[in-house]
A and B are shown apart, each in its own frame.
Chain A
């Protein structure tokens, strides 16, 4: 059973150590992200209006966020008008209860699922299993994660951290598949045989939703394997769980995201399968449809002026694929179904900035900005990271670190104090310096010198040099050096110290 949820069991620092110490996983991640990064860049470069499209995507989302309740009510009445049922879930427990109740009501022992992060967010599989209902993932990567009793580590490619040989072994063990090769085709075939039977025999399906169009009550799933289409058409009952931020006003608006999403996520011009369904159609497809609208912390995020942009996210995973921290630490380090840069800002906010482990996530970034450049809806992730760092730090009681920063600010707000501190450090560093560098620092700073040297403070600061230098020189119009008063001077000044 693949675990899920958004509450990290450990801090980012602790969790990252595990992946960092796993060379195979790091190679898998590096390979996968490098390939997809390059492909995405090419796919995006093909569109001349990419930047305008990003602006449009951001604008539509912002518009929705400003009038979210209105569009959700529109969506609700449109879905109902077409014979569907709508449920509102305040939190994960409520959502789990709703879905499990419906499945139970139909006497289901098995449900098929198509990749839906929101059901991972609410830990649906575990809740169903408690009631004796087995949830079967039908997305190939999700299936791999489920069979391996692993956690997803990527939004789009949950098994990105696995390579083909590992998957072949897994299928041999769990599906009894007698595979001769680890070719993708052979692996897919083994999964297909297993899933086909499930599609034909299972009566209840659970899906997520990429978008929902308010004007017509249409729900949409975007995927590449066709399994999603099977899930939303074959069973008798379909339950879709979607975060409340996924609503868009019109089909026109949806078109913007249909262009942004595939290129950002899989570097495709168009994704292979886009399925739409509106309520129920007698005699065609599921005859019972439930839409579960999930809040689970989202209205809190919405209420925050800076944090709000997080809800623009269309889960394309472009930010993960370009993130140097994700590439090294891996998805599991984020301890949530939302890994990478988006996870670093979404997870702590969904938990109301009250979860100690999740609150380490905003620091899991070097602020290099690659995520912001890649994001198709222009979420300024670095800005939100900094903002959250501020909010979380504010709440902290006076820690050693806080005192250090306060002292530093006091020192640095006056030049003479700053100079004094440098002089002090210069004298104090004596015992630490060997061959002009510092190889081991005490306390918190030891993290640096475990793997890196630090240069020693040089004997003279810039400002000390500046005070000692001869009168300023500038070149006059004739190209000859002169002082700022226009007096000619010798062009070369001799320095009182040699090259460092």
Chain B
């Protein structure tokens, strides 16, 4: 299958390794991977902060960029959540019928990486090797908007050498929430404190998730505490093999 990558702006700028891992992984599974260099940002940050008109510019840009794609895959649950769940709202609230039609035609082709692998491709064993103790954080958007269910866990359980340990209160938000983490920094920190405590209680070497924004938050807390546990994007674990350590 020809897969169009949506790397997302955060990954592009801050976590390029996740994008590289996604490419590596999909190619290893036999797919042709394309990266349309016109892509930028899904507009989630704008939309969630109340700047809907500005977000709309980015919605249009996204639609134009990916109009002809067969399947669009992103290593980010929240950005896919934005496209699938909120692009229709954005178009509706702006009263833009034509855009709404385009959006509705596009959204069924947009997938988060783990759901694409498990639900679309039916692959649970991607031939990865990662000999570490790992705990998995269920990100809110993947869980409640995309309903990826246990797709990430199925993938992780099939990684050779990986020791998966359950994260207590796994369904609780880490407190990132985009600009929430800055605007309501105190509350966000209180939420993060509990999340970090739970991660540390597992004794895991790494905490993984399908979204670098949440991981940046959790990782930011762990790093400040010099906790000795790091964060790794799911794609980087899945891309790792005995021959090549990705993360």
Contact = CB atoms under 8 A, between A and B. Distances in A.
B32 A465 contact: no
A44 to B, nearest CB: 14
Interface in A455-491: 455, 457-458, 460-466, 469, 472-476, 481, 484
Nearest to B190: A328
Contacts of A484: 32
A58 B89 CA distance: 20
Contacts of A413: 40, 57-58, 61
A463 B37 contact: yes
Nearest to B223: A453
Interface in A354-385: 362-370, 372-373, 383
A321 B32 CA distance: 46
Contacts of A363: 179-180, 183-184
Interface in B56-92: 57-58, 61, 86, 89
B191 interface: yes
Interface string A199-219: 000000000000000000000
A387 B86 CA distance: 11
Interface in A253-309: 306
B55 A409 contact: yes
A472 B27 contact: yes
Contacts of A461: 12-13, 16
Contact of A475 (B30, B58, B244): B30
B93 A452 contact: no
Contact of A389 (B15, B17, B48, B182): B48
A454 interface: yes
Nearest to B240: A499
Contacts of B33: 472, 474
B90 to A, nearest CB: 9
Nearest to B51: A405
Main secondary structure of the interface of A (DSSP, over half): helix
B144 A383 contact: no
Contacts of A328: 187, 190-191
Interface stretch (A9-17, A96-104, A151-159): A9-17
A414 interface: yes
Given A324-B173, A451-B189, A390 B52 contact: yes
Interface stretch (A47-55, A61-69, A442-450): A442-450
A415 interface: yes
Contacts of A476: 30
A345 interface: no
A13 B184 contact: yes
Contacts of B179: 363
B24 to A, nearest CB: 9
Contacts of B55: 409
B191 A458 contact: no
Nearest to A396: B50
A418 B40 contact: yes
Contact of B224 (A373, A383, A445, A452): A452
Contacts of B29: 475
B104 interface: no
B27 A389 contact: no
A328 to B, nearest CB: 4
A324 B172 contact: yes
Contacts of B35: 463, 466
Nearest to B245: A499
A406 B175 CA distance: 25
B16 A458 contact: yes
Nearest to A366: B177
B140 interface: yes
Nearest to A402: B51
Contacts of B166: none
Contacts of A450: 185, 189
Given A329-B187, A418-B9, A452 B192 contact: yes
B31 interface: yes
B95 to A, nearest CB: 11
Contacts of B140: 366-370
B122 interface: no
A422 interface: yes
Contacts of B187: 16, 20, 325, 328-329, 333, 364
Contacts of B132: none
Contacts of A448: 181-182, 185, 220
B40 A390 contact: no
Interface string A329-341: 1000100000000
A16 B186 contact: yes
A369 B145 contact: yes
A359 B172 CA distance: 26
Contact of B191 (A324, A415, A492): A324
B58 A465 contact: no
B20 interface: yes
A20 B28 CA distance: 48
A152 B51 CA distance: 34
A370 B31 contact: no
Contacts of B52: 390, 393-394
A418 B61 CA distance: 13
Contact of B183 (A372, A390, A447): A447
Interface string B207-247: 00000000011011101100000000000000000011111
Interface of A: 12-13, 16-17, 20, 26, 306, 324-325, 328-329, 333, 362-370, 372-373, 383, 386-387, 389-390, 392-394, 401-402, 405-406, 408-410, 412-415, 418, 422, 425, 437, 439, 444-445, 447-448, 450-455, 457-458, 460-466, 469, 472-476, 481, 484, 492, 495, 499-500
24 contacts: A13-B183, A13-B184, A16-B184, A324-B172, A324-B175, A367-B177, A369-B140, A369-B141, A370-B140, A370-B144, A370-B173, A372-B144, A392-B50, A393-B51, A394-B52, A408-B46, A409-B46, A415-B40, A437-B223, A453-B223, A455-B220, A457-B13, A472-B34, A474-B30
Ranked nearest first, the 9 interchain pairs of A and B with the lowest CB-CB distance are A366-B177, A447-B185, A393-B50, A452-B220, A389-B50, A409-B54, A368-B173, A462-B19, A369-B144
Given A365-B177, A415-B37, A452-B224, 7 more contacts: A325-B187, A367-B177, A405-B51, A439-B224, A451-B192, A454-B220, A462-B7
